Structure 1
Amino acid sequence: MSGVMIARSLRLLSLLQARRFWSGHALAADLGVSERTLRRDIDRLREAGYRITAERGAGGGYSLEPGAALPPLLLDDDELVVLAVGLRSVTARGVGHSDLTALSALAKLEQLLPSRLRRRVSALQSHAFPDEGGSAPSAAPDLIAQLALACRDSERVRFRYTDANGAIESYFVEPHCLVSVEHGWYLVAWEIDGGTWEAFGVNRMDSYFATAARFPPHGLSQERAAEIAHVAAGRFARGHVGLLRIHAPLEELRAVAGPWARDATAETDSTTLWPISADQLQGLAFGIAWIPEEYEFEVLEPAELRSFIRSFGTRLLRATHDSQG
């Protein structure tokens, strides 16, 4: 079989795996061959063990059926990386009888992975943390892999970023890890110019550039990184924002609240303005309840939050009233 025919057969197999059903005309057009040539290529795949069914007539076409014996699969780079990372995760968790099967499959897969893909798998496994509460929407797999490599190799990177207000800024950071939260993948990194920990939504990045400049790894726990990512995600996802005046200096509040006070600003030497956010007004009130008792505060806005707290406070007083007098 000529090199052209082999390449065309591989392309045909990839197309059949990508879609449940192809019309003969569409499949031939995608391959750039006649339908007669397509039929010969289909026959060659059948001889190799692939079960391909043909439906005749005006609406006819081809589909790849599951078979008793699994022939070789065609997977692209991103699919191989995802498969390997998934198998590593299963074996790391140890999920009963399936962990041995996953380990066997992983050993066979990694034996065949080229070194460039093995590096991506290793970086994703060790520097990307899923959120146990749910799965994250997908970002570009290649960008995630590049960021994971930068985290693993302690390599400074540059990128442009669109913030919650739609403003576009350029950042120069020292990446630490990737964290998956409900609203997507976030890169937790030390922002060099600002001298602070930040989390950046991967799907809001562009113009990514790896500088090849190394830095000493930072000491930051996985729990702390997840907290920073969750706070950043809240800036995009939450629909209610309140503003508090805390009777404490800014640095003292940040020492107590950590990344949750990331957007707080100093009003005076002894007071701090602290924006908080939540999906509902009740969530804002719940957050306020966590303010330590030694800190006095005022709810500045919005008006509906002040009204809700007054009403809720009255309900609380009624609920704690001693009916026995």
Structure 2
Amino acid sequence: MDTATRLLRLLSLLQSRPQWDGAELASRLDITPRTVRRDVTRLRSLGYPIDAEAGIGGGYRLGPGGRLPPLLLEDEEAVAVAIGLRAATMTTVSGVEEAAVSALTKLNQVLPARLREQVGAISAQVAQLPQGELPTIDADILTTLAAACRDIEGVRFSYRTHDGTDSTRSVEPLRIVHTGRRWYLVARDRDRDAWRTFRVDRITHLQRTGIRYQHTNPPDPLDLVAEGTGIAPWNLVARIRVQIDAETARIHLPPREVIVDPIDTTTCELRFAANDLAPLLFQTTRIPWPFEILHPPELRTAVHALAHRLLNS
């Protein structure tokens, strides 16, 4: 194995897990521990930050920063990355489309012919339905929020609500949730002492505060976004008790349309909403398990009328 190949293999091993013992690396690369130390020195001179600790529990690990290491991908991984980049060319995150095209061009240049054919065949047979006019997300804001969630660090930003009201918010981020159409930040609003969801496209003048915090009994981010987007904006809310456990119901029902609240091990309550009765009736007829309509009473009447009409047709 020549030096260049060995250095690439060493980088690949360092990427594959958090820490390596020097003897393990020497065994994997079929070299001596002394050569491992020399190769680590070579990689450091090329700009790759490799940390080393001596003694029991020590070893080598690839640190943050420095140059982006080359990625060594298996065939399936390369195809998955290429398909993901093609999908990213149609994202609503500003700047990502151009970066995805650039990355895809570089990847296509090094893909073997057989893999280019696979990617091309999949792409040619996949079409995406238009989603209408969706707001564009600032990529810098999205990555800053993600970093704040990761580092458990507070942020401050300007926010415009759906009615056009501007305000300044100081929050403790928990998670970013993507519904397929929009991006939401789930965070605890420090001034209001309450959990809130914020549309990321309405966030401007974002700043990290440097203040760290610990969440106490945080809500489920997916449930909070589903509640805020699927229930709160609508006039009519259906509540239906279903003879099935909550876990099974969540598997079979779309989370963006139906909120599932467990009652006990064999029953749960479904909630979904709309501005008029017809969508509630349609959603109710799709429930595949025995159920009881708790609210509103006019939905119960509409379901009984539909059942009577179907039985007599």
TM-score (norm 1): 0.38
Larger radius of gyration: 1
